[in-house]
Chains A and B, each alone.
Chain A
Amino acid sequence: MKISPLQLFIAFSQMALSGFGGVLPFAYRALVERRRWLSAEEFPKLLALSQVMPGPTICNLSVMFGYRSAGLTGAAAALGGMIALPIAIVLALGIGYQQFGDLPPVRRALAGMSAAVAGLIVATAVKMARAMPRRIALLTVMVFVAPAGILLAWRERW
């Protein structure tokens, strides 16, 4: 299917801006259900490939879909749509943090948000662990690597 770079940019911007707390579910909704650019069988294949490639999954997916639809320009348009407006929002919030980050309520709010986000990330790790193939060898690797990662993080702190 031929999709213009402008259409790609708009579609991926919309996905990115709806994606509070994760863009992937919105990517499925937009590409498969609303615009029908991909079938329900094609999406998981594209997703699987985005996951085994290095880098951020959602960006790999944008690049692959954009490239398939409209070549290099398409890849740039889809990736650009995915990040352009969110970057503007994140930087605006960052400037706010620079201005007000030292105020006690803002500091406390961010400490609370950090704690909640830490919990969300642990939940992600649990979901990933559940989805793993239940093979003893792989589980053994995890049992050794997970504490190693935590120790590395801990090391220079205490």
Chain B
Amino acid sequence: MVNSQSADAPVWSIVGPMVAHFAMLSLMAIGGGVVMVAPEMQRYVVDAHHWISAEQFSAAYAIAQAAPGPNLLFVTLVGWQVAGWAGAVAATLAILVPPAALTIAMMRVSTNRAPGPLGRAVGKGLAPISVGLVFATGWILFRGGSGDWTAAAVALLAAFVVLRTKINPVWMIAVGAAAGVMGLV
């Protein structure tokens, strides 16, 4: 079920294009983090290339979200599922290195620490797009699960609790897992 690409395809013929695509997406993730490029990532690895299934993509996201650390590490798992260890390393570097290099380049030319007027304008202008894309990510992950009405109830409950209380979101993931094990989802 994992590493489901055809066994005869050389790994690098998959890893190469994947790295190029993820690296490009890493530079488009402005204002919403990697969450906002997840829909395009999913379209690329699931719908366009059939390297992994929608269920595997959603599982990778859920696992990374349940683990400590930045949730962008779902990209590592996606890369690993697509092309093993080489895929894991390559996907992680592709998502981390371009923005890090750009950030360092920016710090070298400018010592001014608050974003300037252009930076603020870019942030505000992109905010609505980020919001739309983040919604889309939620939708995609939902579709990768069972997608029935009990799953919708779990999703709505999680959203509601997190918006209304200060409970750590990771507890809602635990609730989802428990509901799943009990056969409710």
Contact = CB atoms under 8 A, between A and B. Distances in A.
Interface string B79-121: 0110000001000100110111011101100000111000110
B45 interface: no
B176 A116 contact: yes
B144 interface: yes
Interface in B109-151: 113-115, 119-120, 122-125, 127-146, 151
A42 B168 CA distance: 26
A146 interface: yes
Nearest to B156: A119
A49 interface: yes
Nearest to A126: B163
Binding site of B, secondary structure by majority: helix, strand, loop or mixed? helix
A56 B171 CA distance: 23
A86 B71 CA distance: 9
Nearest to A94: B77
Given A91-B80, A94-B81, A86 B180 contact: no
A46 B99 CA distance: 15
A145 B128 contact: yes
A54 B27 contact: yes
A52 B104 contact: no
B184 interface: yes
A131 B160 CA distance: 17
Contacts of A138: 124-125, 127-128
A110 B159 CA distance: 17
B175 interface: yes
Contacts of B135: 121-122, 125, 146, 149-150
Contacts of B143: 153-154, 157
A43 to B, nearest CB: 11
B157 A119 contact: yes
Given A114-B151, A116-B173, A141-B129, 13 more contacts: A16-B70, A21-B168, A21-B173, A55-B29, A59-B100, A63-B104, A75-B104, A90-B63, A102-B1, A111-B185, A112-B178, A149-B39, A149-B133
Interface of A: 16-23, 42, 45-46, 48-60, 63-64, 67-68, 72, 75, 79, 82-83, 85-87, 89-91, 93-94, 97-98, 101-102, 105, 108-129, 131-133, 138-139, 141-142, 145-150, 152-154, 156-157
17 contacts: A16-B70, A19-B68, A50-B103, A83-B69, A86-B70, A94-B81, A111-B185, A112-B145, A112-B181, A115-B180, A116-B155, A116-B177, A125-B131, A129-B131, A145-B129, A150-B132, A153-B43
